[in-house]
Amino acid sequence: EAGVAQSPRYKIIEKRQSVAFWCNPISGHATLYWYQQILGQGPKLLIQFQNNGVVDDSQLPKDRFSAERLKGVDSTLKIQPAKLEDSAVYLCASSHSAGRTHNSPLHFGNGTRLTVT
Amino acid sequence: GNSVTQMEGPVTLSEEAFLTINCTYTATGYPSLFWYVQYPGEGLQLLLKATKADDKGSNKGFEATYRKETTSFHLEKGSVQVSDSAVYFCALRIPINTNAGKSTFGDGTTLTVKP
C-alpha cells in the first residue's frame, strides 16, 4: 500500500511569515494526526482528526496554527505568523479506525522540516 | 495524565552486543504499547507492539514484553547490527470515546552501533 505522503520535505521561512504543509494519508485510514517533533524530543500531538471532524486539538496553539481536513481525506496544517520556536519537523500520521482502534499502530509520513529564521 | 519515560541516550554499542532500552509508562486506562524506530531523514515506523499484559511483541530480532505490574515495556535485542542504528521511541495508546485512540510518545533513545 502507498504510505503517508507529505509535502514539502523542507521549508525555510522568516519569522512572521506564513507556511502550509500538506498530508495525504493511507487510503481508507479515517484517523489523521499532525505531530510536532522538536530536535531531540518525541512527537507531540498538535491535532487529531476522525474523518473530517476534530477529535483533539487541545495542544494546538490556535492563535497561530490551524488545520483542516475538509473532505475527510487529505489535510493541511498552517502556521501564521511563524515564530522561531516553531522550527521543528512536522509529522503527519494516519491509522485505521475500526473495532479496538487503540491497538492499531500509526503510519507516519517522512515529515516536513521547518526552519524559521 | 499519560506519560512515557525512556532511558536517556545516546547509546553506543559494538556490533553483536546485547541491547536493552528501558521504557516505563503511566496511563489512565489500559493502554496498548508500541516501539517505533526512526531512521535518519525518515518518519517513525512501527517496530513492534503488545496489546495486553504479558504479551510479547517481536520483530527483526527485537522483543519487548508488556509488564503491567511494573508498567514497563523494555526493548531488547540479543545481537545488534550496524543497520540498527536509529532513534527508538516507546509509545502508548489508549482508547478515547470516539474510538480513535490517543497516543503518547517518549523522547526517544538514539542507538549507534559501531562495526
Tell me which chain A residue has its CA closest to the CA of residue B106: A42
Tens digits of per-residue pLDDT, A24-72? 999 989 899 999 999 989 999 999 998 888 988 999 999 999 999 988 8
Q: What pLDDT was estimated at residue A52?
A: 84
Q: In chain A, which among 3-62 make CB contacts under 8 A with chain B?
A: 4, 30-31, 33, 40-45, 48, 50, 55-56
For cell 511494573, what's the residue?
Answer: B70
Chain A CB within 8 Å of residue B44 CB: yes
| CA torsion, ordered B75, B83, B15, B58, to nearest 10 deg | 30
Tens digits of per-residue pLDDT, B45-81? 999 999 999 999 999 999 999 999 999 999 999 999 9
Chain B residues with beta carbon closer than 8 angstroms to that of A51: none
Q: What pLDDT was estimated at residue B30?
A: 84
Chain A CB within 8 Å of residue B39 CB: no
Cα–Cα distances in Å, from B41 out to A46, A113, B18?
21, 9, 26
pLDDT above 60: residue A100: no
Of A102 and A14, which is predicted with more confidence?
A14
Among B103, B73, B83, which Cα is nearest to B7's?
B73
Contact B101 A104 (CB under 8 A): yes
pLDDT above 70: residue B98: no
Task: Measure the CA–CA gap between A98 and B64, rounded to whole angstroms.
Answer: 25
Beta bridge partners of A112: A90
In percent, how much of chain A has pLDDT > 90? 75
**B71: closest CA of chain A, how far (Å):** 17
Helices and strands of chain A, counted as H and E runs: 0, 11
* CB count in 10 Å sphere of residue A39: 8
- Closest in B98, B101, B108 to A42, CB measured: B108
Which of A42-51, B15-24, B96-105 is most confident? B15-24
Task: Measure the CA–CA gap between B58 and B47, rounded to whole angstroms.
Answer: 8
pLDDT above 80: residue A101: no
Are B98 and A55 in contact by the 8 Å Cβ rule? The answer is yes
Cα B3 to chain centroid distance, Å, stands at 13
pLDDT above 70: residue B97: no
Among A95, A114, A96, which Cα is nearest to A37's?
A114
Element (H, E) at B32: strand B32-38
